[in-house]
Amino acid sequence: MTKESIPGSILAGTIGFDTTTSWWQIGFWGLYLVVTLQAYLAPARKKTSV
């Protein structure tokens, strides 16, 4: 995918995607995504009334 393509431009502008992404960047981005999704998709805790 080239930087000048429409998908390349959209991805670069929204999530900082670069066409020369290294394996380290992909790995850390994936790890970040997993941790963040686990936090957001975890069931809500029930509030106890006192």
Residue 35 confidence (pLDDT): 96
Task: Please indicate, yes or no, if residue 19 is contained in any of the structural domains.
Answer: yes
- Whether 46 is in a domain gets the answer no
Q: What are the angstrom distances between the C-alpha of 11 and each of 7, 45, 48?
A: 6, 35, 43
Is residue 12 in some structural domain? yes
pLDDT at residue 41, as a whole number: 93
Domain count, the chain: 1
Q: Are 33 and 15 in contact (CB under 8 A)?
A: no
Provide the sign of the torsion angle of the four alpha carbons 20, 24, 25, 31, taken in this order. Answer: positive
Domain membership of residue 15 as a residue range: 6-37
Measure CA 21 to chain center.
14
Domain assignment present for residue 29? The answer is yes
Instruction: With respect to residue 45, please indicate whether it lies within any of the assigned structural domains.
Output: no
Q: Is residue 22 part of a domain?
A: yes
Task: Walk along the chain (50 residues) and give the pLDDT tens digit of each residue.
Answer: 677 888 888 888 888 877 787 889 889 989 999 999 999 999 888 888 87
Q: What is the pTM of this model?
A: 0.53
